[in-house]
Amino acid sequence: MESSASSPGVIAREKLKIFQIFRDVGPEGEDILKTAKLVHVADKREAFVVTMEDETYSFVRTRLVPSVCKIAKIPQLCGLRVKEFAVGMIELAITEDGFLYSWIISDPDVFYFEPTTSDFALLGRLKPADKVAESNLVVTPHRVLGSLAGKKVHQVALSYKRIMALTWGGEVHQWGGRTPLWTPTLVPKQHFHYQQVISITCSDDVSVALTSNGELFQWELDNEVPQKIDVDPTPFKKITAGKDLIFALTVNGALYSARLPTGTKPIWSTAFEGEELQDVFATCWTSGMVIFELKNCIRFAFLYHEASYPDLSSFSQSGTSIDEYFAGINQATYRTVCAETQLKPGTVADHIGNLWASKENSDVTFSLEGKTISAHKCILACRSEYFAKMFNHDWKEVQGSVIEIKDIKYGIFEAFLFYIYNDEVTFGASTRIFLTSCS
């Protein structure tokens, strides 16, 4: 009897069986899944697998014969250390080096539209004059350039009509739209008040960006200039989008949502009164499914539609994982899943520096000169005696959700925090400071 234990860095086969796309895949598919270190499941008809040898495969089930799973190696993505996929009307892959690749599935048994004529399928990949061979299951992936040339991509977001990319430098690039742009273009940083963008999301008609000081900016397809959203003075820490809703979560656990009525601007409102949330997940942009996580780590899931928005009391609670929720309700996850024991390449310094760029899991917010900036208590306490004392004692500064810093300019304090994370300082021409230690 074959052991069910997985090798280090490999996703356990039992965890993949919750997805229909990975059931009954035949001998070839089973051999590939035995060494899978990363998978991306779009729904019950499409998925991608990266093996320990960095070979990338597509798994596709057709509309007419769903019992047949077509498996194809994607040679252009082999050896590239793919770390994340995003799937919509086109396919996107981000490598560990920050390169972005795009391609489309071209199979008449998989999609109803003709990929060589559909504007939505052509976003960022083909122009109407290009031709696709009918025999190709995977149209050749190519690196996305345009304004992304020489940039390292950190995150992507896509909907039916628009594609967005966020670089490690906090720049936002976009293409698509009602009048499709075939290559990425930079959204000028002044539109975000010269702040670094740390997260992006989009739905069919609107895009939203979250900046490093917790502010939100939005812009519609017919208005390319982002506008600041003033719905809560508390900094925001996460944004995500479903089919018809965009969600924004504050550092205090307050959740706001924006409905997207056709042809009008998003309408922002409080999602739940009196409930403190820890996280929100809305990765099914085609199905309208959302999962909420409370402060006590209890999770709730439901499918929403424009006519109603259920009360929290109507939810069922469970310890089910996020992947099991999505797989169990509608098999549409749109999530990239990695092996639990997989070690990402890079040094400890690289990972700490990445935390500064992404602000992921930040748990402290500072306020200076009317602006806010988020960080991680454990990093600050390890690197600075001042912060260690602050966080280890009942100082009045740490009693509230936002710590006010006086008599220091925002730019200098931001540079100081950057130094704590990165061991280097970058300044504008008008700023001069000398740091001898973090104490």
128 with 251, same domain: the answer is: yes
List the structure tokens of 191: 């539109």
Q: Where are the beta strands (DSSP E) in 52-133?
A: 56-61, 69-73, 82-87, 91-95, 100-103
Domain that holds residue 401: 348-422
> H or E segment at 218?
strand 216-220
Backbone dihedral angles phi then psi of residue 30, each to the nearest 5 degrees: -65, -40
Over its length of 439 residues, how does the chain's per-residue pLDDT go in tens digits?
344 455 678 888 888 888 888 999 999 999 999 999 999 988 888 899 999 999 999 998 877 777 888 899 999 999 999 999 988 777 899 999 899 998 877 655 555 444 444 444 444 444 444 544 444 555 778 888 888 988 999 999 988 778 899 998 889 998 877 666 777 889 999 999 988 899 999 887 789 999 988 899 999 877 778 999 998 888 999 998 877 788 899 988 888 888 766 556 778 888 776 667 888 887 666 666 777 887 777 777 766 654 454 444 445 555 567 777 777 766 666 778 887 644 455 567 667 777 777 677 778 888 888 778 888 888 888 888 888 878 776 554 544 567 888 888 888 888 888 888 887 765 443 343 444 434 4
CATH number for the domain including 352?
Answer: 3.30.710.10
Q: How far apart are CA 125 and CA 197, in angstroms?
A: 25
Q: Are residues 368 and 326 in the same domain?
A: no
CATH number at residue 324: 2.130.10.30
Of 290, 318, 338, the position where a domain reaches its end is: 338
3-state SS, residue 154:
strand
Q: Structurally, how many domains does the chain consist of? A: 2
Residue with tokens 């812009």: 219
> Which of 42, 37, 5 shows the shortest CA–CA distance to 20?
42
Structure-token pair, residue 114:
């003709």
Q: Are 198 and 359 in contact (CB under 8 A)?
A: yes
CA separation for the pair 99, 85 (Å, rounded): 12
If we measure between CA atoms, which residue out of 105, 51, 96 comes closest to residue 78? 51
Say if residue 334 is in the same domain as residue 353.
Answer: no
In this structure, the answer to whether residues 87 and 128 fall within a common structural domain is yes
Angle between helices 410-422 and 348-358 (to 10 degrees): 150
What's the pLDDT score for residue 101?
Answer: 92
CB 225 within 8 A of CB 219: yes
Instruction: Compute the C-alpha angle 28/34/36, nearest 5°.
Output: 100
Q: How far apart are CA 41 and CA 16, in angstroms?
A: 10
Q: Is 5 exposed, middle or buried (0-12, 13-18, 19+ CB in 10 A)?
A: exposed
- On whether both 356 and 212 belong to a single domain, the answer is no
Task: Judge if 148 and 224 occupy the same domain.
Answer: yes
DSSP assignment letter at 401: S
Is the same domain home to 286 and 201?
A: yes
Residues 263 and 185 in one domain: yes
In a domain, 252, yes or no: yes
pTM exceeds 0.85: no
How many Å from the N-terminal Cα to the C-terminal Cα in the chain?
59
Tell whether 435 is covered by a domain: no
| Statement to judge: residues 312 and 356 lie in one domain | no
312 phi and psi, to 5 degrees? -60, -30
- Residue that is written with structure tokens 């930079």 in the block: 186
How far is it, in rounded angstroms, from Cα 369 to Cα 229?
19
Is 196 among the domain residues? yes
Domain co-membership, 276 together with 324: yes
Query: Is residue 9, in this structure, part of any structural domain at all?
Result: no
What single-letter DSSP state applies at residue 332?
-
Residues 385 and 317 in one domain: no
Residue 150: inside a domain:
yes
If asked whether residues 120 and 242 sit together in one domain, one would say yes
Choose the final residue of a domain: 306, 338, 370: 338
Residues 6+ apart with CB under 8 A from 47: 19, 21, 22, 39, 40, 41, 58, 59
CA distance 395 to 380: 16
